[in-house]
């Protein structure tokens, strides 16, 4: 699938639809969803109790939701298409919610037209996979990139470098756990890497870098990614304050 979708909220919606259709208990040609009337984001109806708990714990104001159904259709040529069951589906939704839901279905139907599959499940998977393929491997081109370098080797190398020096490397078991949890919570592809820094005072510290389709951020233990501002990689590293990259050539 050559075209891509760039709105993260659309991907969250598509990914949640995929989760419903991928469930072995799903049967038929209608997908039941729960719509956030303010934002237009879709939720799995069975998960509403967890959603309400999160809103209470994070002190979010109460939100209103409505149930709706999306019909899965097949065109005469065998292509998969999607539409709302209720012609009045827009009622009680904000303008922003309507806009997002229209974009979600438009993107789904575009994926259906491009796909060679007549399976709704496969079309949804292809939509999600297209986003993953759009995430650039820019970190591998960075001058401070050290690939599979382990934690202890990274600390050993940086201990010989001046304070304020850093390197970038792939994660370990810890970052893989974070990556899995973030992807599960956010319903968007997430990659995690490690920023290892020789701090002032000879201290070696590590920060987890998060990559999403809309940019980079430093992980701050918030699995819901609710207060993050995703920026270009250079800006995120620059915000750490006057750091200098340690290239593989200099480390050798």
**3-class SS letters over 83-136:** EECCCCCCCCCCHHHHHHHHHHHHHHHHHHHHCCCCCHHHHHHHHHHHHHHHCC
CATH fold for domain 135-251: SHC Adaptor Protein (3.30.505)
- Residue-wise burial string across 131-155, b where 16 or more C-beta atoms lie within 10 A, e elsewhere: beeeeeeebeebebbbeebeeeebe
Q: How many helices (H) and strands (E) does the chain have?
A: 8, 9
DSSP 33: E
Tokens of 202: 């000879």
For the chain, percent helix, then strand, then coil, each to nearest 5? 40, 20, 40
What is the domain partition of the chain in residue ranges?
A: 8-133, 135-251
Whether 215 and 232 have beta carbons less than 8 Å apart is answered as: yes
Q: How many residues does the chain have?
A: 252
Confidence at residue 100, expressed as pLDDT on a 0 to 100 scale: 93
- Residue-wise burial string across 34-46, b where 16 or more C-beta atoms lie within 10 A, e elsewhere: bbbeebbbbbbee
The Cα–Cα gap between 85 and 27 comes to 16
Closest by Cα among 186, 251, 196 to 222 = 186
Residue 249 half-sphere exposure toward CB, CA atoms < 13 A: 2
Burial bucket for residue 2 (CB in 10 Å: 0-12, 13-18, 19+): exposed
Confidence at residue 120, expressed as pLDDT on a 0 to 100 scale: 86
In a structure prediction context, what are the per-residue pLDDT tens digits for the chain, which is 252 residues long?
A: 445 556 767 877 887 788 788 776 677 788 888 898 999 988 776 555 555 554 555 455 566 888 889 999 988 888 899 999 998 999 999 999 999 999 999 988 988 888 888 888 888 888 776 665 555 567 888 999 999 999 999 999 999 999 999 999 998 888 888 887 777 665 567 889 999 999 887 789 999 999 887 788 999 887 777 677 888 888 899 887 778 888 866 666
């Amino acid at each position: 699938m050559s075209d891509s979708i760039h709105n993260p909220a659309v991907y969250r919606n598509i990914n949640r639809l995929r989760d419903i259709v991928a469930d072995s208990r799903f049967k038929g040609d209608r997908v039941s969803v729960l719509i956030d009337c303010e934002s237009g984001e879709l939720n799995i109806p069975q998960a509403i109790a967890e959603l309400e708990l999160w809103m209470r714990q994070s002190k979010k104001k109460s939100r209103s939701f409505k149930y709706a159904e999306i019909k899965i259709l097949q065109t005469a040529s065998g292509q998969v298409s999607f539409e709302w069951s209720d012609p009045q589906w827009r009622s009680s939704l904000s303008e922003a919610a309507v806009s997002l839901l229209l974009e979600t279905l438009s993107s789904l139907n575009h994926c259906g037209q491009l796909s060679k599959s007549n399976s709704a499940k496969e079309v949804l998977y292809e939509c999600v996979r297209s986003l993953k393929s759009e995430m650039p491997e820019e970190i591998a081109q960075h001058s401070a990139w050290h690939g599979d370098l382990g934690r202890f080797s990274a600390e050993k190398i940086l201990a010989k470098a001046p304070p304020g020096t850093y390197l970038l490397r792939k994660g370990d078991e810890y970052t893989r756990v974070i990556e899995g949890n973030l992807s599960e919570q956010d319903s968007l592809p997430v990659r995690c890497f490690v920023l290892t820094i020789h701090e002032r005072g000879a201290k070696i510290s590590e920060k987890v870098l998060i990559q999403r389709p809309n940019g980079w951020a430093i992980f701050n233990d918030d699995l819901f990614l609710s207060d993050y501002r995703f920026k270009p990689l250079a800006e995120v590293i620059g915000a750490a304050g006057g750091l200098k990259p340690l290239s593989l050539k200099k480390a050798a």
